[in-house]
Amino acid sequence: MPKRSFLGCSVPLVVGVLLVFLALFLVSLLSGALGKSLLGDIGLPSWLSVPQPHPELPAEVIFYLLGFPITNSIITAWLSIIILVGIFYAATRRVKLVPTRLQIMLESALGWLLNLCQEVAGEQNGRRFFPVVATIFLFVITNAWLSLLPGFGSILITNAEGETVHLLRGANTDINLPLALALISFIFVEYWGIRSLGGRRYLRKFVNVGQFFRSMGQLVRGRLRAGLSGMFNGVIDIFVGMLEALSELARLISFTFRLFGNMTAGEILLLIVAFLVPWVLVLPFYGLELLVGFVQALIFSGLTLVFATIAVTHHEAETA
């Protein structure tokens, strides 16, 4: 008689796993704030409970280096850089014709990013944009996933000023890092636009007063109708240029607060869920944050790629 199975597993194994999960869930519920508010404290060990979270937006200073404050988010950013450098070094130290698993994973990730750049920007521009786009993607996603590891938000130390602070904090949740990445993206997009179009032509997109002054010259020469019509179009060109300049600056704000807001909200969500029902219920939210970290890295690097492509495409349309 064939044994009964469920999804390829024996029924006793499935039942045992469900019972263990149910027991862990009940213990988590009773040790969390939600269970204590419903049933009161039943005397479970204190280490099963998670202390009440106190989210703080400003990064906490750990120590000073040559008078410069080193915060817990800077330490995390340095740790992300060390991890990325270590992974690339380990994968490329001995490149083989038959690649190792780490080399395959790294080549697959970089190949996917390169294909994305080439599909959006074309063969030549895609290769030109790839180093910056790939660096932003890998740095953002490493910061996001690194902050989900144990120790972030739970390791406390005493800093140089005698204050008890958190040693590690997700770098993406410090608004200074998203702002720095937004500035890097902005600078490279403007550089590629100027490099492709030339400084004078590229700046004309923002300050386009040629039509207006030419129309004023027509008015001086007595061509009233053409001058007035041209001045009207010139005012429109000036206004459109102002909108273009405003949109470029608005990218800094949108880039910064999109990454900062989503990462900070995710961190606070994990803290609250872990406080209400620790250990078990928080696991699906960790999976969600893994997806959010990937999406935010893709959005940040993808928008950089799109804006750079628009800058170069503008040049090609002008010179066509």
DSSP-derived secondary structure for 72-133: HHHHHHHHHHHHHHHHHHHHHTT--SS--HHHHHHHHHHHHHHHHHHHHH-HHHHHHHHHHH
- Does one domain contain both 99 and 186? yes
Identify which of 39-43, 83-87, 152-156 has the greatest average pLDDT.
Answer: 83-87
- Does one domain contain both 19 and 65? no
Q: What confidence tier does 316 reach under pLDDT thresholds 50, 70, 90? A: very low
- Does one domain contain both 99 and 237? yes
Instruction: For residue 165, list its beta bridge partners.
Output: 157
- Does residue 53 belong to any structural domain of this protein? no
- Does one domain contain both 196 and 167? yes
The closest alpha carbon to 109, from 144, 134, 136, 84, belongs to 134
- Does residue 295 belong to any structural domain of this protein? yes
- Does one domain contain both 113 and 34? no
The closest alpha carbon to 75, from 174, 181, 185, belongs to 174
- Does residue 128 belong to any structural domain of this protein? yes
- Does one domain contain both 186 and 279? yes
- Does residue 264 belong to any structural domain of this protein? yes
- Does one domain contain both 257 and 297? yes
Tell me the pLDDT tens digit for each residue of 212-223. Answer: 667 777 666 767
Distance CA 306, CA 312 (A): 10
- Does residue 171 belong to any structural domain of this protein? yes
Report, as an integer, the average pLDDT of 97-108.
Answer: 84
Distance CA 60, CA 216 (A): 58
Per-residue confidence (pLDDT) for residue 154, from 0 to 100: 76
- Does residue 56 belong to any structural domain of this protein? no
What's the maximum distance between 2 C-alpha atoms anywhere in the chain?
Answer: 105
The closest alpha carbon to 181, from 56, 73, 64, belongs to 73
Query: Does the structure show a pLDDT above 80 at 96?
Result: no
Into how many domains does the chain fold?
2
- Does one domain contain both 67 and 38? no
- Does one domain contain both 38 and 171? no
- Does one domain contain both 33 and 79? no
Distance CA 75, CA 71 (A): 7
Mean of all residue pLDDT scores within the chain:
83
Report, as an integer, the average pLDDT of 84-102.
Answer: 84
Enter the pTM of the model.
0.84
- Does one domain contain both 110 and 138? yes
Domain of 158? 61-319
